[in-house]
A and B are shown apart, each in its own frame.
Chain A
Amino acid sequence: MPHDLVFSSKHYRREMRGVTVPRDVYVALIGTDLIRLPSGEFAVLEDNLRVPSGASYMLGNRRVMKRVFPRLFNAINVRPLDSYGQNLLETLRSLAPQGQSEPNIVLLSPGVFNSAYFEHTFLARQMGIQLVEGRDLVIHDNVVYMRTTSGLQRVDVIYRRIDDDFIDPVVFRKDSVLGVPGIFNAYRSGNVTLANAPGTGVADDKAVYAYVPKIIRYYLDEDPILPNVETFLCEDDAQRDHVLANLDKLVVKAVGESGGYGMLIGPQSTKEQQAEFRDAVLAAPRSYVAQPTIALSTAPCYIDQRFEPRHVDLRPFVMHGANTVVPPGGLTRVALRKGSLVVNSSQGGGSKDTWILAR
Chain B
Amino acid sequence: MLSRVADNLYWMSRYLERAEHGARLLAVHLNLVLDQEEETAALRRHRVLSALYAPEDGDGALSDAHMVQMVAFQLENANSIVNCIRAARENARQVREQINLEMWQELNQLYLYLRNINLVGKRDDGDVGFFEEVIERIQLFQGVTDATMNHGQGWQFIQIGRFLERALSTAHLLAIEFDALAQHVGGRTLADEPTYLEWLGLLKACAAFEAYSKVYTFDLQPSHIAEFLLLNEEFPRSVNFSIISVQNALNAVAEATETHKGTRVYRLSGRLRSSLEYADIGEIMSSGFGDYLADVQRQCLAIHDAIYQVYVTYPVEEKLAS
Q: Given the complex of chains A and B, what is the CA–CA distance between A149 and B319 in angstroms?
A: 11
- In the bound complex, residues from chain B placing their C-beta under 8 Å from that of A140 are 316, 320
* Option from B95, B97, B253, B316 in Cβ contact (under 8 Å) with A149: B253
Q: Does B97 lie within 8 Å of A148, measured CB to CB?
A: no
CA distance A135 to B94 in the complex (A): 13
Complex contacts, A138 vs chain B, CB 8 Å: 316
Contacts A130-B2, A133-B4, A136-B3; is A150 near B258 (CB within 8 Å)?
A: yes
Instruction: Decide yes or no: A152 and B256 within 8 Å by CB, A112-B93, A121-B96 being known contacts.
Output: no
Contacts of A111 in B (CB 8 A): 94
When the two chains form the complex, which single residue of B2, B259, B319 contacts A132, counting CB atoms closer than 8 Å? B2
Q: Is the CB of B153 within 8 A of A149?
A: yes
Given A111-B94, A112-B93, A131-B97; A148-B320 close (CB under 8 Å): no
B286 close to A (CB within 8 Å): no
- By a CB distance below 8 angstroms, the chain A residues around B253 are 149
CA distance A136 to B316 in the complex (A): 11
**Chain B residues whose C-beta falls within 8 Å of the C-beta of A131 in the assembled complex:** 95, 97
CB distance from A206 to the nearest CB of B (A): 34
Using Cβ atoms and an 8 Å threshold, which residues of chain B touch A130?
2
Closest B residue, CB atoms, query A125: B97
Set of chain B residues within 8 Å of A125, measured between Cβ atoms: 97
Residue of B nearest to A152 (CB): B319
Q: How far is the CB of A124 from chain B (nearest CB, A)?
A: 4
- CB-based contact B94/A112 at 8 Å: yes
Determine if B128 is an interface residue (Cβ-Cβ < 8 Å): no
Q: How many residues of B contact A (CB 8 A)?
A: 23
The CA-CA distance from A135 to B153 in the complex, in Å, is 21
| Pair B2/A148 contact, Cβ less than 8 Å | yes
Distance in Å: Cβ of A59 to nearest Cβ of chain B: 14
| CB-nearest residue of chain B to A147 | B3
Using A111-B94, A121-B96, A136-B3 as known contacts, say yes or no to A151 and B153 having CB atoms under 8 A apart. Answer: no
The B238-270 residues at the A interface (CB cut-off 8 A) are 253, 256-259
Please state if A151 and B4 are interface contacts (CB–CB under 8 Å).
no
- Contact partners of B311 in chain A: CB under 8 A: 149
Q: Given the known inter-chain contacts A132-B2, A133-B4, please indicate yes or no for A149 contacting B257, CB distance below 8 A.
A: yes
Q: Report whether B97 and A121 are in contact in the complex, using a CB–CB cutoff of 8 Å.
A: yes
Cα–Cα distance between A135 and B8 once the two chains are bound (Å): 14
Find the A residue at minimum CB distance from B307. A149
Q: Confirm or deny: A146 has a beta carbon within 8 angstroms of a beta carbon on chain B.
A: yes
Per-residue contact bits, chain B 258-302, to A (CB 8 Å; 1 contact, 0 not):
110000000000000000000000000000000000000000000
Bound CA span A322–B267, Å:
51
CB distance from A125 to the nearest CB of B (A): 5
The reply on B6 being an interface residue by CB < 8 A is: yes
Count chain B CB atoms within 10 A of each CB in A111, A112, A131, A133 and give the residue with the most: A131
Name B317's closest neighbour in chain A (CB-CB).
A140
Q: What is the chain B residue whose CB lies nearest that of A140?
A: B320
Most buried by B among A130, A132, A149, A150: A149
Interface members, chain A 140-197 (any B CB < 8 Å): 140, 146-152
Tell me the complex Cα distance, A246–B7, Å: 58
Binary interface encoding of chain B residues 1-44 relative to chain A, with 1 for a CB under 8 A from any of its CBs, else 0: 11110100000000000000000000000000000000000000
Contacting pair B93 A149 (CB below 8 A): no
| CB 8 Å contact bits of A112-141 with B (1 = contact, 0 = none) | 100001101110110000111101101010
Name 19 A/B residue pairs within 8 A (Cβ), A-sorted: A112-B93, A121-B97, A122-B97, A125-B97, A130-B2, A135-B4, A140-B316, A146-B2, A148-B3, A148-B257, A149-B2, A149-B153, A149-B256, A149-B257, A149-B312, A150-B1, A151-B314, A151-B322, A152-B319
With A122-B97, A149-B256 given, can you name 4 additional A-B contacts, CB distance below 8 Å? A112-B93, A117-B96, A149-B153, A150-B256
Q: Which residues of A contact B (CB under 8 A)?
A: 111-112, 117-118, 120-122, 124-125, 130-133, 135-136, 138, 140, 146-152
